[in-house]
Structure 1
Amino acid sequence: MKEFTRQFRWHSPWTQNVISGIGVGCSAGLYVALNLLGAGGGRPDSAQVVQVVNATLCSVWFLSSSFGGSILNKLGPGLTMCIGVQTYAVYVGSLWYYDETGKRDYPYASGPLIGIGAGCVFITAGYVATAYPEESEKGAYATMLMNLQALGSVIGGIIPVIVNRDSNTTSGVPRSVYISFIAIMVVGGLLCLLLQRPHKLKRDDGSVVAVNPPRGAWEELRSNLAVFKDPTLLMMLPAFFPSECFLVYSGAVNAHLNNLRARSLLSFIAVVLQIPAGWALQWILDHKEWGRRKRGLIGLTAVSSPMIVAWVWEMIRVSGYDRNRPPLDPTDWTEPRFGWIFVLFMLTWVSCQLWHNIVYYWIGALTNNPRKLTHYVGVFRGVLGAGEALCFGLDSIKVPFIAEAGGVLLFYIIGISIFYYLGLYHMQDTNYDKKEEGAIVPNHVLEEKGIAPNSRGVDATV
């Protein structure tokens, strides 16, 4: 109990990670739940409009994430994430407006706005999850982040399940769902103002998380651009690219094949299962008796094996689907054929969500420098957004499902291969021995090396 209380001190890194995760859950978590109802609005006749909006969103997200590390370093995590979460409320309001009026101006205007906001949210969350923990806690922080996002999707998913439990219609999202989502997003965004700058936080051993003096805007931009010269980071870009393509694909297939209450049930159960699966992966990634390379490779295998099976199965399943001719009898959860649809949806969703945990783990293994990690996470979210934008664009012109599934599978295979290579030949069991300017070395590690901690609690020259 004492350890639990210490972890949840107000200025502890762990508490800050929880607040950050709640912010992601109240924004991206609800966004995921809404998209899983079928292209955002859940109405087949509005799918193309919403896909265009999401394509715009993700295109802007690429830029805002790739260079948003400089924004985070200037504004701090609290204000950056608060602004980002509130843009999600604007986006949901635009979908509600479109469903009510059929006018496209507001949704189209919301796309670039939430693109900027999404970059702010995920740069902040990724920075906290990778820069704040010690090396032995990287898996736990990533799992907490993704599970709180999943919790937001659980909350967002149970609302449509309850509202639509007696409905077998194929389209439309009730007004009550939109109102609930907007209210949660506004409150969650305000909660994010409690996030503190890292130099105000202290670990349980008394060391601070980071001590980085403020830098000018031009110096921040140059630092951001410098990460694109890192050969290891550049090598990982194909692994970043497909990370959220499955959201677009799953939402589109879900809307094509199933009625509204079946879609609601699938989206709800998927995010529920993601939470225990994340804990299981954390047990592997933070296993104290294994070195970091062994933990990473075993975790990668545990995630990639079912992922490949799921996407091959997807390609076989949709080979005969015609996107321009949706079925006249959408699948309901009471039908026998829903069983296999359920199994495949869960397999695809859970394995692809856990891919984010793997990516965060690999990024965190590269460096202990918080400022550099800010930019690394930004590049990850930016490239991820580019992949999602491409999928939304392809969806808007209704490319065959089999082509979309095959492309996503190809990028996952390339990414898996790259991670195996980096894990085998580039991942080290610790970065504490690397002489990185600005790198974090906790007090207890300095003491183990026979070095007295300085007044900041950090020695960046070890």
Structure 2
Amino acid sequence: MKVNKNVFRVNSPLNQNIVMGCILFCLPGIYVALTGLGAGGGRPSSASVANETNAILYGLFALCAWLAGTVINLLGPRISIVIGSIGYPLYIGGLWYFDRTGHSWFPLWGGAMLGILCGILLTAAAFIQFAYPEEKDKGLFISMQFMMKASGAFVGALIAFCANVHEKKAVGVSTAVYSVFIAIQTSSILLAVFFITDPKKVVRNDGRHIAIFKAPTLVDGLKDLGKAFLDKRLLILFPAMLVCEMPLAMVSTINAFYFNLRTRSLNNMCFQFIQILMPYLLIYVLDSKRIASRRRRGAIGVVIMGTLAIGACIGLYIWLDVVHYADIKTSPAVDWQDSHFPGIFVIYILFGAIFAGFQVVVEWILSALTNEPSTLAQFAGMVKGTSSLGMCISFVVAAQKVPTVGQLSLQFSLYVLGIAGLFWVLFFHVKETNYFIEETVIVPRHVEEETMGKLGTDQQREAEYIKEHIATQQAAAGVTSLEEDNVEMQTSTIAQK
């Protein structure tokens, strides 16, 4: 199959990732902007309800994300993304309603709906960033999605900052800000409907599809889910996945309590901006052409993010002690013009870099374990579900008013365990390449050409030709039960070769 590289194709892996990034810009990006303001964007007195809402949200998110890999294999990314997109505007509307009326039922219900639905959305997004790129581009695809999501959060934070720049009191955001956020989120559903395509129809620039897709069944999906839960590699990575997003709850609670609204908005805007910068820098590490070894690239990424995580935790320990944070009972409404603002601001920004960069490194290592799409769908559900469980724990702890130093100690411990687990999986389970050893994955043409005469054989070349032929037929007509039998037979032959 020939592809004109000069013609825009929505079904290229990169363009599918860009479309998914635009959807993330509109949905979780705006959500993170509001969460980053603390108290769900409301008054400091709203923090308790916001934390309770988020605890419900992330608890359901964890459960649904763990199941979402099976859902995506059954329904495909497009339907999954459309369904998953609905929860975000409901959630923002609930927070708006509570801030204006004081009634908590709507935000609690909205949080539950978002938790159920966004687990599907974000697992579908992770599936695209894991399964569509070549091995050499996985850092780019993962970082690109995070950068675009952070860009949405930055724009949302900028809107809130501009609306609140002169507000020195500890109050909630305006009706106009909520309205703009809901409008942006609602429009994103159209992107999924018109531009997300079937994975079977995704074609690389070399004209090859990414894989053969077998017709899934619910029973097979549940079996694959069970295997993922028992996968020792994922069990070792559990602490790292659990702590990925936990800092957001802790630092957002500090932001809501300690600062006035305009300073909260400034902090939030800078917090989101660093999440654009950090993944961008990690692309040059994780996908570096100068460092041939994939394990070495991953190790450098772990060292960078591990050092930042440990350093930021130590810095926050010191700040909590210096300002006697535990003894402060009412919001001091600190402004950026106050003399003791810079120290906590730097720590806050460091946690923003960690929130983004640590996730990118964890997901890169996870995606390096395989290129097989259906397995990566389950891995996507596991990482999103487990990181959401961490967020749930973090918000529950915050809602129960556990001292901040206790929350920090929990996260510090998980970072230490997580870093050790990342190194273990990286050096004992990540291969330099997974190409030619997975029967359904189609090897990129340039990889085949580079390895022929080294690792490759005529049988492998024939196997790749057969797989591409099957994938082309699937893209043209879909997989029927009869074709599925044929796929099973031919892929078994490929595996024997």
How would you bin the TM-score normalised by the shorter chain? over 0.9
> 1:66-115: CA deviations, max 9, x gaps?
11111111221112112212210000000011111111111121122101
Query: Which has the larger displacement, 372-381 or 210-219?
Result: 210-219
Alignment partner, residue 268 of structure 1: 269
Query: Which has the larger displacement, 313-322 or 403-412?
Result: 313-322
The one-letter code matched in structure 1 to 2:95 is L
Give the conservation status (yes or no) of the 8 Å contact 2:440–2:467.
no
Alignment partner, residue 326 of structure 1: 330
> 1:172-210: CA deviations, max 9, x gaps?
111111101101101112212221121111001111122
With over 3 angstroms needed to count, the CA separation of the structure-2 counterparts of 1:323 and 1:363, relative to structure 1, is farther
SS in 1 for 2:338: coil
> 1:260-281: CA deviations, max 9, x gaps?
1101011111221222222111
The one-letter code matched in structure 2 to 1:22 is C
Alignment partner, residue 168 of structure 1: 168
Matches within 5 A, 1:16-165: 16-165=16-165
TM superposition shift of 1:7: 9.2
TM superposition shift of 1:443: 3.0
Alignment partner, residue 277 of structure 1: 278
SS in 2 for 1:250: helix
RMSD: 1.9
The one-letter code matched in structure 1 to 2:264 is R
Alignment partner, residue 480 of structure 2: none
Q: Distance in 2 between matches of 1:245 and 1:13?
A: 31
SS in 2 for 1:68: helix
Matches within 5 A, 1:52-451: 52-193=52-193, 194-290=195-291, 291-319=293-321, 320-322=324-326, 325-327=329-331, 329-434=332-437, 436-447=438-449, 448=452, 449-450=456-457, 451=461
Give the conservation status (yes or no) of the 8 Å contact 1:256–1:323.
no
TM superposition shift of 1:437: 3.9
SS in 2 for 1:103: coil
Give the conservation status (yes or no) of the 8 Å contact 2:274–2:352.
no
Give the conservation status (yes or no) of the 8 Å contact 1:26–1:85.
no
With over 3 angstroms needed to count, the CA separation of the structure-2 counterparts of 1:336 and 1:88, relative to structure 1, is same
Q: Distance in 1 between matches of 2:148 and 2:90?
A: 22
TM superposition shift of 1:422: 1.9
TM superposition shift of 1:235: 1.1
Q: Distance in 1 between matches of 2:397 and 2:328?
A: 14
SS in 2 for 1:208: coil
The one-letter code matched in structure 1 to 2:150 is A
Q: Distance in 1 between matches of 2:7 and 2:126?
A: 19
Give the conservation status (yes or no) of the 8 Å contact 2:275–2:355.
no
Q: Distance in 2 between matches of 1:273 and 1:227?
A: 33
Q: Distance in 2 between matches of 1:359 and 1:442?
A: 25
The one-letter code matched in structure 2 to 1:153 is A
Give the conservation status (yes or no) of the 8 Å contact 1:38–1:254.
yes
Task: Report the TM-score when normalising by structure 2.
Answer: 0.89
Give the conservation status (yes or no) of the 8 Å contact 2:126–2:380.
yes
With over 3 angstroms needed to count, the CA separation of the structure-2 counterparts of 1:314 and 1:5, relative to structure 1, is farther
Instruction: State the identity as a percent.
Output: 32
Q: Distance in 2 between matches of 1:62 and 1:308?
A: 26
> 1:315-343: CA deviations, max 9, x gaps?
2212321377134x311112222111221
> 1:389-435: CA deviations, max 9, x gaps?
1111111111100100111111011101111122222222111143x
> 1:6-56: CA deviations, max 9, x gaps?
595211000000111111221111111101111213312111111111101
With over 3 angstroms needed to count, the CA separation of the structure-2 counterparts of 1:440 and 1:112, relative to structure 1, is farther
> 1:241-277: CA deviations, max 9, x gaps?
0111111011101111111110101111122122222
Q: Distance in 2 between matches of 1:438 and 1:123?
A: 21
> 1:192-248: CA deviations, max 9, x gaps?
222112111100111112221222222222222221121111111111001111110
TM superposition shift of 1:455: 5.0
For structure 1, the 5+ residue unaligned runs are: none
The one-letter code matched in structure 2 to 1:267 is N
TM superposition shift of 1:351: 2.0
The one-letter code matched in structure 2 to 1:138 is K
With over 3 angstroms needed to count, the CA separation of the structure-2 counterparts of 1:306 and 1:67, relative to structure 1, is same
Q: 1:454 aligns with which of 461, 465, 477?
A: 465
Give the conservation status (yes or no) of the 8 Å contact 1:6–1:204.
no
The number of aligned residues is 458
Query: Which has the larger displacement, 111-120 or 316-325?
Result: 316-325
The one-letter code matched in structure 2 to 1:454 is Y
Query: Which has the larger displacement, 77-86 or 61-70?
Result: 77-86
SS in 1 for 2:243: coil
Give the conservation status (yes or no) of the 8 Å contact 1:32–1:153.
yes
Alignment partner, residue 482 of structure 2: none
TM superposition shift of 1:58: 0.6
Larger radius of gyration: 2
Query: Which has the larger displacement, 274-283 or 440-449?
Result: 440-449
For structure 2, the 5+ residue unaligned runs are: 472-490
SS in 2 for 1:454: helix
SS in 2 for 1:322: helix
Q: Distance in 2 between matches of 1:336 and 1:78?
A: 50
With over 3 angstroms needed to count, the CA separation of the structure-2 counterparts of 1:294 and 1:393, relative to structure 1, is same
